Each structure stands twice: as structure tokens, then as C-alpha cells.
């Protein structure tokens, strides 16, 4: 791999603009190369000959005055550049051959090189100052933890000596901020206020210990990245100067690299010393003096791709394709599309299996999102707050989705086969219970408490789902409202869950029939269950409004309220009909569509900026092809108009069953959401890049009781 690609691949995505612009410097060198190799050397004139002869005499004579340093003689006439420090860690290069023909490009090269190097030093120095301050804070946090452990040990062993006065002094104004955020704690905060006493329990001490351990791990990661940043940029300067010497046949790299060697970027040892101290403290206090265990926690190994995952993904999708062919042949053999029981099957069995298709399709879209996020270096693990080496890659998502697809198709085929075989006609009940059994398997896998089948990811999903359900009692993070938006695109899945309850709870599933549509309670819940995801997001917006005092969240909440009105009116129209209801449903849906489309493109994607460098897009883009953004905006509008089939009564087309139309529209919404996901996370990533945010903010467990200053 060439150094340019290696350099780019090892960058911190959020700091990309703070690195040396190696590719641009290579472009300048390319211009220098083209000029020097396509411009014929000038013919020496008589004057030039005399000048060269005079210079040769001067060089011979000036050798008497050359200074000798470190045993090496140096001809001043061979000097190409002179590097000087004009301000504190601000360097400027003087090109000594500016009178030569074609030197303009070389002047530009060194001017850009100086700008880039000074930019790197300034950024690095600022980050070093930040980590030094953070180290002081962690040091105070560690003092408080050790003092608390000392007090706790004294309480458990009264025969020990008296507690040191130092520990009491440290804890004089300290408060432990370790209360786990929960529904109960949220209500206590609302009605009773925050906890202000200095009492603590063994559980609180354990929580404080865990939080501080996490803070040390994240701080060590930050130090490693800073060290890598320094090394990579020094290496980039070395590589580009060697290329310059090769292109120009000069010897300028020695002088410039000598300056780099003596600069703050190379001479500063704060980061290395901090790393040594962090490792020593972590091993002593968080790894029971076990260096191997401590370094394993501080430097977790990167997860390797497993070939068996790729193998099983291919196998499962191959088997699924074979089952699709088998299902088609079975349907054709029985001529089910023209059979008398077609409507009965589409109304009762088809919705049961469509639930799994919604899940599989959403997972496939998410796998595609992950693939393209990784390809275009979008730091999605940081944005979602995944623990290191626990996030699922696109291959793992494909593995899970292909396995579920295989089970679903096998269930469909077994359902059809059991009805075809005369020997299994008596097992009608078992036939109808196949979808319910598959749902049970999926739920059991999802809530399995054992550390198998991506336990960390399953737990992460359940926790964020619980935060959505309990909105607005939890602080809203990016994964919370991102998942809430996913739920708004799975309204039909939630309605299918309601149908499962009705079909197996109150319907006569043994006869493959149901009376759900004839129940007023079912119709009411049919409306309410579609409103729930939008209501969750509205409550999350209210929580963000009160916390951040940003009225943009209020406008976002109104967006979800408008969607609730549209969903309710469309559902009532389908149930009750009537011209007036159709007009109301169409009007509310039109307003909600315009509102949502504007918010998608302008707020969530950050596009439609007419004064940007990329007209009607935004200043920074990740995708190299700008037309993709315009295609995505058009597709988003078209897919958002899928609701029109409801008010235009497309679901009553004779060539397509109503259940199939509902299924298609639901799938289109899932596809639209997958498209939205990519550009929403891309925009979030670019916001982080603009603020150089690349590290997780770990809440520290201790603070002063008055809250006016940090510990």
C-alpha cells in the first residue's frame, strides 16, 4: 500500500483536516516534476559561460572560509532552503533558489509545507494542553476514590488505625455522582431534587470505581491517538521531503527534517510520560497489579474478521434462494394464486409471515449503511456510542438477517407442505402455530441473558428501546432518538404484532379465520399503536428542549405531532370512508409530508444550502459523486408519497390484494428509512469533524458538593 493511502487510512476521521495535507503537497510536486522534465535546459551563452567560470573561481576560493562543524564540511552554495522560527513554534522556510527558472512552484510548495506543519504543531499543542488538564482532573478523581476506599475499609474493619486526615480533607466537599439513571431516579429528581448528602453505599463505591476505570481507558486511548498523530505527521513530512529531493535532485530534506526533529511535535514528551503514568496507576488500582490484565484492558485487541461468518452468510443466503424457488414451485403446483382459499390465506397467514420480512429488510438496509459508512470513513461506532470491539459489522448483520430469512422461508414452506400432505391434514393446529413458534424463537434469542450471539449488541438495543418507551424520563442520546426514528418506519410491524395477539388470542386460528376487523377495540388500538412511535419521538424532543433550551427541538416535536394527525386521519378514512374524511386525510398528510421532507433534507441531512461551496448541498461532502445527493433527495420525496395509495384507494386494485399492497408500502418506507440513515449519520459525522470531536465524554463520579467548581 502506498504511503498516501496508508496515511489516510490511519487518520482519526474527525481530525482529518488537522493532519498534513499530504495529497495536495504531492500535487504541487507533480507540477514541479512536469515543468522540470518538459522544459529543455537553457543553452549557455557567452555571458553565462563567463558567469559560470567566475562562480567556479568563487567556489574554489570561498572554500577557505567554510566553517567545519561536527567533522563535516558544507558548501553554502549547495544550500537550498533556510528554515527559521519566526514566532513560538511558528516556522518559515526561505527558498534560496528563487531566481532559477520555474522556481515559482517550489516557492508555493515550501509555503504550503510551512502552513501545514505549523497547523499540525498548533493543533497538537492544543490537544496536549487538553490532556494535561484532563490528567489533573483524573488525578483528583483518583484521590477521592482512594479516600473513599480508605473510609469504607475503616467502616468494615473498626480495629484498623484511625483514618488519615488527608482522606477526610479530600472528602470534605466531595459528592458522589453515581446514581444510575432510571425511571425511578428520574421521578425522584423531579419531585425530591438531586441527592446532596455525602453518604455512600458499597454499591455506589463500586459504581464510582467502574466509571473511573472507564475514564482511564478512554483517556489512555486519547493519548495513544495523540502519539499516533504526532508520528504520522512527522512521517508525512519526511516522505514528502524525500519526494521533493527526488523530483528536484536537490538536498533540502536534511535541513527541513532537522527543524522537524527539534520542533515541539518531536521534542514534546508530555504524552509519553502521561501514558506511562496512566498505565502504572491503572495496573496498580484497576488490575490488582497484574500488568498483563491491565494492558489488555487499556489496549483491547481489534476484532478480526472471521472467515466462518462469511461462509455462513453465503450458505444461508444460498439456502434461502433455494427455499424461495421451492415456495414458488409449491404455490405453482397447488395453483394457490387462483384457489378459493387465496383471500383467506392473504388475510390470515400472509400478515403473520410479513413481520419477519420487515425485520430482515430493515437489517439488510442497516448492513448496507454500515458497509458504506466504513467505506467512506464515517465513524459510526463513536456516533452511536458502541463499546470498543463490540459493534456489529455489516457481515454480522448479514449473518443474522440471512439466518432469520432462512428460518422464515423454511416455516413458510413447512406450512405449505403440511397442508399438501394428506398424512398431516389432522395437524391443522400445528400448521397455524408455526409463525407463533418462530416469533417465540426470535424473542428468546433477543432476551437471552447468556454471553452468546452478540450479547453486548442485543443488550445495547434493549436498553435504548427501553429509553424510547420511557421517554422523556431518560436523557436523550443519539442512539435513543435514532432508534425512535427507526420505529416510526415500522408502524406496520407494530400493527402486525397487534394482529398476532388478536389472531392467536381471540381469533379462531384453528379454522384460519379471525374477527379482528369487527372489533371496535381492535380498531382503536390499530390507530393508537401507529401513533406510539411518533409520540415517543415527540416526548424525546420535549426532553431535549428543556435540557438544551434549543427551540429547534420544539419544531421537531411539532413535526411528529403533524405526522400523528396524518396517520390518525388516514387510518380513520380507511375504516370509515367518506369524501370529507378523504379530504381531511389528504390535507393533513400533505402538510406532514412537506414538513417531514423539509426536515429530512435541511435539518437531518444538512443539505439545500444555496450559498455553500456545492450549490444546494453543503460545504463538506463525503461521497465523491454529488449527483448521489440529488438522487437521494428525489427518492426521499417519492417514497414519502407512498401514503397517497391510501387516499387514492390503490389498495383496492383488482390485480393486487390489499394485504400485498400494505406490505409493499411498508417495505418502501423501510427502504426510505435506510436511505435516510446513511445521510443522517454522515451529517452527524461531519458536525463532529467540524468540532474535532473524536472521543467519548465519560461522566466522572466525583464533584464538589456546591457544584460551582470541579473537583
> CA angle, corner 433, sides to 429 and 434, nearest 5?
125
The residue among 599, 562, 560, 566 whose CA lies nearest residue 680 is: 599
Per residue in 553-563, pLDDT tens?
Answer: 999 999 999 99
**CB environment 681-702: b (16+ within 10 A), e (fewer):** bbbbbbebbeebbbbbebebbb
Beta bridge partners of 87: 90
pLDDT over 70 at 116, yes or no: yes
Q: Residue 709: which pLDDT band, with cuts at 50, 70 and 90? A: very low
The residue among 399, 400, 401, 404 whose CA lies nearest residue 311 is: 399
Q: Residue 42: which pLDDT band, with cuts at 50, 70 and 90? A: low
Q: Residue 60: which pLDDT band, with cuts at 50, 70 and 90? A: very low
pLDDT number for residue 710: 45
pLDDT number for residue 205: 81
The DSSP code for 161 is: P
pLDDT number for residue 165: 55
Q: What is the pTM of this model?
A: 0.84
Q: How many CB atoms lie within 10 A of CB 233?
A: 25
On average, the pLDDT of the chain sits at 83
pLDDT number for residue 487: 95
Tell the residue number behind the cell numbers 443466503, with chain if given: 317
Beta bridge partners of 83: 93
Between these two residues, 190 and 65, which has the higher pLDDT value?
190
Beta bridge partners of 90: 87
C-beta of residue 589 within 8 angstroms of C-beta of residue 570: yes
- 3-state class of 236 per DSSP? helix
C-beta of residue 20 within 8 angstroms of C-beta of residue 234: no
Taken as a whole, the chain contains a residue count of 711
Start-to-end CA span in the chain (Å): 48
CA distances from residue 281 to 148, 209, 276, 295 in whole angstroms, order as listed: 17, 13, 9, 11
Per residue in 652-691, pLDDT tens?
Answer: 556 678 888 889 999 999 999 999 999 999 999 999 887 7
pLDDT number for residue 650: 57
- 3-state class of 314 per DSSP? helix
pLDDT number for residue 52: 40
Tell the residue number behind the cell numbers 400478515, with chain if given: 351
pLDDT over 60 at 208, yes or no: yes
Between these two residues, 459 and 46, which has the higher pLDDT value?
459
Output the nine-digit C-alpha cell for 149.
476506599
Helix (H) or strand (E) holding 603: none
Whole-angstrom Cα distance, residue 181 to residue 699? 12
- Decide the pairing of beta strands 174-176 and 90-95: unpaired
Residue 307: alpha-carbon gap to chain centroid: 25
Whole-angstrom Cα distance, residue 626 to residue 631? 9
The residue among 239, 241, 223 whose CA lies nearest residue 5 is: 239
Amino acid at each position: 500500500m502506498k504511503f498516501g493511502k496508508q496515511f489516510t487510512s490511519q487518520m482519526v476521521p474527525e481530525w482529518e483536516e488537522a493532519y498534513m495535507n499530504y495529497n495536495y503537497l504531492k500535487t504541487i510536486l507533480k507540477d514541479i516534476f512536469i515543468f522540470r522534465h518538459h522544459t529543455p535546459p537553457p543553452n549557455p551563452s557567452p555571458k553565462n559561460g563567463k558567469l559560470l567560470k567566475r562562480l567556479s573561481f568563487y567556489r574554489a576560493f570561498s572554500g577557505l572560509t567554510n566553517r567545519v562543524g561536527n567533522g563535516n564540511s558544507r558548501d553554502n552554495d549547495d544550500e537550498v532552503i533556510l528554515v527559521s522560527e519566526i514566532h513560538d513554534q511558528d516556522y518559515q522556510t526561505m527558498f534560496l533558489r528563487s531566481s532559477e527558472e520555474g522556481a515559482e512552484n517550489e516557492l508555493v510548495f515550501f509555503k504550503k509545507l510551512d502552513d501545514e506543519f505549523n497547523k499540525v504543531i498548533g493543533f497538537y499543542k492544543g490537544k496536549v494542553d487538553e490532556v494535561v488538564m484532563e490528567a489533573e482532573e483524573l488525578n483528583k478523581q483518583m484521590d477521592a476514590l482512594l479516600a473513599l476506599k480508605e473510609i469504607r475499609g475503616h467502616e468494615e474493619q473498626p480495629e484498623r488505625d484511625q483514618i488519615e486526615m488527608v482522606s477526610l480533607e479530600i472528602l470534605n466537599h466531595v459528592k458522589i455522582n453515581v446514581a444510575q439513571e432510571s425511571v425511578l431516579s428520574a421521578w425522584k429528581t423531579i419531585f425530591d431534587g438531586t441527592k446532596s448528602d455525602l453518604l455512600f453505599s458499597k454499591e455506589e463505591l463500586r459504581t464510582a470505581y467502574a466509571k473511573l476505570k472507564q475514564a482511564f481507558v478512554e483517556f489512555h486511548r486519547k493519548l495513544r491517538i495523540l502519539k499516533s498523530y504526532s508520528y504520522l505527521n512527522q512521517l508525512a513530512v519526511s516522505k514528502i521531503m524525500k519526494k521533493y529531493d527526488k523530483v528536484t535532485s536537490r538536498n533540502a530534506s536534511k535541513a527541513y527534517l532537522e527543524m522537524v526533529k527539534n520542533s515541539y511535535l518531536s521534542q514534546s514528551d508530555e504524552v509519553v510520560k502521561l501514558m506511562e503514568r496512566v498505565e502504572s496507576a491503572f495496573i496498580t488500582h484497576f488490575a490488582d497489579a497484574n500488568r498483563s490484565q491491565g494492558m489488555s484492558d487499556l489496549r483491547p485487541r481489534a476484532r478480526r474478521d472471521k472467515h466462518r461468518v462469511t461462509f455462513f452468510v453465503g450458505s444461508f443466503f444460498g439456502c434461502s434462494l433455494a427455499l424461495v424457488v421451492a415456495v414458488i414451485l409449491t404455490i405453482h403446483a397447488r395453483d394457490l394464486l387462483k384457489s378459493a382459499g387465496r383471500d383467506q390465506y392473504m388475510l390470515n397467514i400472509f400478515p403473520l409471515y410479513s413481520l419477519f420480512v420487515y425485520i430482515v429488510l430493515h437489517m439488510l438496509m442497516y448492513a448496507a449503511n454500515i458497509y458504506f459508512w466504513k467505506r467512506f470513513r464515517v465513524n459510526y461506532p463513536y456516533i452511536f456510542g458502541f463499546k470498543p470491539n463490540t459493534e456489529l459489522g455489516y457481515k454480522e448483520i448479514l449473518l443474522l438477517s440471512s439466518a432469520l430469512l432462512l428460518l422464515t422461508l423454511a416455516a413458510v414452506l413447512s406450512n405449505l407442505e403440511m397442508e399438501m400432505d394428506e398424512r398431516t391434514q389432522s395437524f391443522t393446529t400445528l400448521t397455524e402455530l408455526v409463525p407463533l413458534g418462530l416469533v417465540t424463537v426470535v424473542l428468546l434469542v433477543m432476551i437471552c441473558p447468556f454471553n452468546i450471539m452478540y450479547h453486548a449488541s442485543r443488550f445495547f438495543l434493549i436498553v435504548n428501546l427501553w429509553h424510547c418507551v420511557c421517554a422523556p424520563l431518560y436523557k436523550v442520546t443519539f442512539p435513543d432518538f435514532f432508534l425512535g426514528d427507526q420505529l416510526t418506519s415500522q408502524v406496520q410491524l407494530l400493527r402486525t404484532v397487534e394482529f398476532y395477539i388478536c389472531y392467536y388470542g381471540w381469533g379462531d386460528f384453528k379454522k384460519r379465520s379471525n374477527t379482528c376487523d369487527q372489533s371496535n377495540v381492535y380498531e382503536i388500538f390499530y390507530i393508537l399503536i401507529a401513533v406510539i412511535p411518533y409520540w415517543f419521538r415527540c416526548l424525546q424532543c420535549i426532553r431535549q428542549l428543556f435540557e438544551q433550551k434549543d427551540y429547534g427541538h420544539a419544531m421537531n416535536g411539532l413535526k411528529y405531532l403533524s405526522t400523528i394527525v396524518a396517520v390518525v386521519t388516514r387510518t380513520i378514512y380507511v375504516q370509515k370512508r367518506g369524501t370529507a374524511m378523504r379530504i381531511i386525510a389528504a390535507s393533513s398528510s400533505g402538510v406532514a409530508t412537506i414538513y417531514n421532507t423539509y426536515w429530512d433534507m435541511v435539518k437531518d441531512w444538512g443539505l439545500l444550502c444555496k450559498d455553500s461551496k456545492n450549490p444546494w448541498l453543503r460545504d463538506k461532502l463525503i461521497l465523491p459523486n454529488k449527483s448521489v445527493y440529488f438522487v437521494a433527495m428525489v427518492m426521499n420525496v417519492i417514497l414519502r408519497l407512498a401514503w397517497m395509495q391510501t387516499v387514492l384507494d390503490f389498495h383496492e386494485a383488482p390485480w393486487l390484494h390489499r394485504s400485498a399492497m400494505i406490505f409493499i408500502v411498508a417495505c418502501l418506507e423501510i427502504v426510505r428509512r435506510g436511505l435516510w440513515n446513511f445521510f443522517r449519520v454522515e451529517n452527524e459525522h461531519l458536525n463532529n469533524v467540524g468540532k474535532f470531536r473524536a472521543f467519548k465524554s465519560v461522566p466522572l463520579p466525583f464533584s464538589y458538593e456546591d457544584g460551582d467548581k470541579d473537583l
